[in-house]
Structure 1
Amino acid sequence: MVLHLIEPAAWREALREGAVRPPSLADAGFVHLSTPDQVHLPAQALFPGRRDLALLVVDPARLPDPVRFESGRPEDPAGMLFPHLYGPLPVSAVVAVVPYRPPAPLRLPAPGDAEARARAFFTSLPVRRAVGVGDVPGGVAVLDPDHVRSHDNNRLLVTEAVDAGTVEAAADEVGGNAGWPHRAALLAWAGAEPVAAELRGRGWETEELVLMAREAGRPASAHTSRVETVPQQQVHDFWARSWRQGLASLGADLERTVADLVGREHLNDRVVAVTDLVVREDGAVVASAQLRVDGATAAVDSVLTDPAARGRGHADALLARALELATDAGCDLVVLEASGDDWPRHWYARRGFRPVGSMWGVDRGA
Structure 2
Amino acid sequence: MPAEAPAPGTPDSEAADTADAAAELRRIHAFLSAFTRRQAERTLPVPGGFAALDDTYALSYGNNHVLIDGPTDPEALPGHVDAALAPLAHRAVYVLDAATGDACAPPLTRAGYTLTRTVVMRHTGPPPERGGAREVELPALRGALTESQRRFLPDVPDEVIHTLVERRAARRRGAPDVRFLASHDEFGEPASWADLYLDPAVGVAQIEDLVTAAAHLGQGHAGVVLDTALRMGAEAGCTTTFLVALADDWPRHWYARRGFVPVGSVHCFERT
- What's the TM-score bracket when you normalise by the shorter of the two chains? 0.7 to 0.9
Partner amino acid, structure 2, of 1:115: L
Match of 1:204 in 2: 113
What RMSD in Å do the two structures reach over aligned CA positions? 2.1
Question: Deviations along 1:17-67, whole A, 9 cap, x unmatched?
Answer: xxxxxxxxxxxxxxxxxxxxxxxxxxxxxxxxxxxxxxxxxxxxxxxxxxx
- Is residue 194–residue 225 contact of structure 2 (8 Å, CA) maintained in 1? yes
Change (3 A) 1:364 1:111: closer
Match of 1:117 in 2: 27
Match of 1:308 in 2: 215
Question: Deviations along 1:261-316, whole A, 9 cap, x unmatched?
Answer: 22221222234211111122223212111111012111001110012211111111
Looking at structure 1, the residues matched to 98 and 183 of structure 2 have their Cα atoms a distance apart, in angstroms, of 37
Looking at structure 2, the residues matched to 308 and 180 of structure 1 have their Cα atoms a distance apart, in angstroms, of 36
CA deviation after TM superposition for structure 1 residue 354, in Å: 0.7
Partner amino acid, structure 1, of 2:179: T
CA deviation after TM superposition for structure 1 residue 186, in Å: 0.8
Partner amino acid, structure 2, of 1:169: G
Task: For residue 134 of structure 2, give the secondary structure of its aligned residue in structure 1.
Answer: strand
The 5-angstrom pairing of residues 1-366 of structure 1 reads 113-176=23-86, 179-191=87-99, 192-215=101-124, 217-220=126-129, 222=130, 224-225=131-132, 227-250=133-156, 254-272=157-175, 273-281=177-185, 282-295=187-200, 296-365=203-272
CA deviation after TM superposition for structure 1 residue 239, in Å: 1.2
Structure 2: stretches of 5+ with no match in the other structure:
1-18
Partner amino acid, structure 2, of 1:204: Y
TM-score (norm 1): 0.64
Looking at structure 1, the residues matched to 56 and 260 of structure 2 have their Cα atoms a distance apart, in angstroms, of 34
Q: What number of residue pairs does the alignment pair up?
A: 249
- Is residue 110–residue 116 contact of structure 1 (8 Å, CA) maintained in 2? no
Which structure is higher in helix share? 2
Looking at structure 1, the residues matched to 107 and 21 of structure 2 have their Cα atoms a distance apart, in angstroms, of 34
Change (3 A) 1:110 1:271: farther
Change (3 A) 1:256 1:164: farther
Task: For residue 162 of structure 1, give the secondary structure of its aligned residue in structure 2.
Answer: coil
Partner amino acid, structure 2, of 1:290: D
Change (3 A) 1:325 1:160: same
Looking at structure 1, the residues matched to 62 and 125 of structure 2 have their Cα atoms a distance apart, in angstroms, of 26
Question: Deviations along 1:228-258, whole A, 9 cap, x unmatched?
Answer: 22122211221111112112233xxx21112
- Is residue 195–residue 207 contact of structure 2 (8 Å, CA) maintained in 1? yes
Task: For residue 248 of structure 2, give the secondary structure of its aligned residue in structure 1.
Answer: coil
- Is residue 52–residue 63 contact of structure 2 (8 Å, CA) maintained in 1? yes
CA deviation after TM superposition for structure 1 residue 203, in Å: 2.3
CA deviation after TM superposition for structure 1 residue 197, in Å: 4.4
- Is residue 78–residue 107 contact of structure 2 (8 Å, CA) maintained in 1? no
Looking at structure 2, the residues matched to 197 and 208 of structure 1 have their Cα atoms a distance apart, in angstroms, of 14
